[in-house]
């Protein structure tokens, strides 16, 4: 049996969960696909999830902690007799997946780009060295796998599976959550966006991001920022793209006044199309861009906005 830990926002499954289901189906030679949803008030999420897997285990364990999620995923894996557990890659899964692998005595394959089986083992590919090298790994069963976001097609519904409540023996909390502040953000999530418009320090001021936001809105995308911009306090850390921020892989990545240091490239260089605007013709971003405009962003951005408005109309 294969178990998918289905990430959600409390109301519906996230895009990454449907990617993880696709990964599980690709390994169907190892067994049927079940899933587990973890958290609180999970009725609506469980109803959606049952359209994608044979059985949905519902673990009502309250607000997130790594210990709770590892315990719930372990209980679901035991219940399903799963030898393979798959989850969406990211900061949250990174905090509990190693704990789960330890509990299961399993191998851990993190941030995989694709997975397959050669019969007795799972074979996976992943990036290393700032996304510049692709390496292949193999692990025997049991195994815990995390799937790098935006690397796998989304699963389509397949019938209606069953729903079972799951009893979870929760460990004594090692960390007490005193307060949880959830950022209220409009529009599409940065990691799930098909278009990302990122502004760099070359924009000159936080006020210049109004044009970045407008272009992202016209294109149905999300706003990104470089580390220098975030460090300057112009934009929130949640928008940071790069080695120390988020990794994105949209269909189109528009870099405005972004120099494109290797640390930034690590978070976006696998985008399908990269469009760069920079006044420095020698900027590193042009080495990976599909389309480049050498010019003053304050002159180019208004022209891009006009073109986007016409496209939308």
How far is C-alpha 54 from the geometric centre of its chain's CA atoms? 24
User: Within this chain, do residues 157 and 68 fall inside the same structural domain, yes or no?
Assistant: yes
Is 50 marked as a binding-site residue? no
Question: Tens digit of pLDDT for each residue in 23-44?
Answer: 999 999 999 999 999 999 999 9
pLDDT digits (tens, 9 = 90+) for 224-261: 999 999 999 999 999 999 988 888 889 999 999 999 99
Enclosing domain of residue 270: 195-312
**Quick one: pLDDT at residue 219?**
94
Q: Is 242 annotated as a binding residue?
A: yes
Q: Is residue 227 a known part of a binding site?
A: yes
| Residue 310 token pair | 């016409």
- Is 184 annotated as a binding-site member? no
126 and 214 both lie in a single domain: no
pLDDT band at 187 (very low <50, low <70, confident <90, very high): confident
Q: Choose the final residue of a domain: 165, 185, 217.
A: 165
In a domain, 142, yes or no: yes
- Model pLDDT, residue 184: 67
Q: Answer whether 286's CB lies under 8 Å from 278's CB.
A: yes
- State mean pLDDT over 199-209: 95
pLDDT tier, 130 (very low <50, low <70, confident <90, very high otherwise) = low
CATH of the domain at 217: 3.40.50.1220
What is the band of 191 on the pLDDT scale with cuts at 50, 70, 90? confident
**Is residue 262 annotated as involved in ligand binding?**
no
**226 marked as binding residue:** yes
Task: Count the neighbouring beta carbons within 10 Å of the beta carbon of residue 145.
Answer: 28
- Give me the number of domains the chain comprises: 2
Residue 134 annotated in ligand binding: no
Q: Binding site annotation covers 240?
A: yes
pTM: 0.77
With respect to residue 35, please indicate whether it lies within any of the assigned structural domains: yes
User: Residue 131, annotated ligand binder?
Assistant: no
**Mean pLDDT across the chain, nearest whole number?**
92
């Amino acid at each position: 049996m294969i178990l998918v830990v289905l990430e959600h926002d409390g109301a519906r499954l996230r895009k990454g969960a449907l990617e993880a289901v696709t990964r599980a189906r690709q390994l169907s030679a190892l067994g049927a696909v079940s899933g587990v949803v973890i958290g609180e008030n999970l009725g609506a999420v469980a109803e959606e999830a049952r359209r994608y897997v044979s059985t949905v285990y519902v673990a009502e364990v309250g607000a997130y902690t790594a210990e709770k999620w590892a315990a719930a995923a372990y209980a679901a894996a035991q219940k399903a007799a799963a030898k393979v557990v798959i989850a969406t890659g990211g900061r949250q899964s990174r905090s509990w997946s190693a704990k789960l692998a330890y509990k299961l005595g399993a191998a851990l394959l993190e941030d995989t780009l694709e997975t397959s089986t050669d019969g007795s083992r799972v074979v996976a590919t992943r990036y290393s060295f700032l996304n510049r090298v692709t390496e292949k790994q193999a692990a025997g069963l049991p195994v815990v796998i995390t799937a790098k976001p935006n690397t796998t097609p989304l699963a389509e519904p397949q019938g209606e599976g069953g729903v079972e409540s799951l009893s979870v023996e929760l460990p004594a909390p090692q960390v007490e959550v005193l307060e949880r502040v959830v950022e209220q953000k409009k529009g599409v999530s940065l990691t799930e966006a098909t278009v990302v418009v990122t502004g760099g320090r070359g924009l000159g001021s936080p006020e210049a991001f109004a044009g970045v936001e407008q272009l992202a809105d016209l294109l149905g995308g999300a706003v990104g920022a470089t580390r220098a911009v975030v460090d300057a306090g112009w934009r929130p850390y949640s928008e940071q793209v790069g080695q120390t921020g988020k990794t994105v892989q949209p269909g189109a990545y528009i870099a405005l006044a972004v120099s494109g240091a290797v640390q930034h490239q690590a978070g976006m260089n696998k985008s399908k199309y990269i469009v760069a605007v920079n006044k420095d013709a020698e900027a590193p971003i042009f080495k990976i861009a599909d389309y480049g405009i050498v010019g003053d962003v304050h002159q180019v951005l208004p022209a891009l906005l006009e073109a986007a408005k016409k496209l939308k109309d």
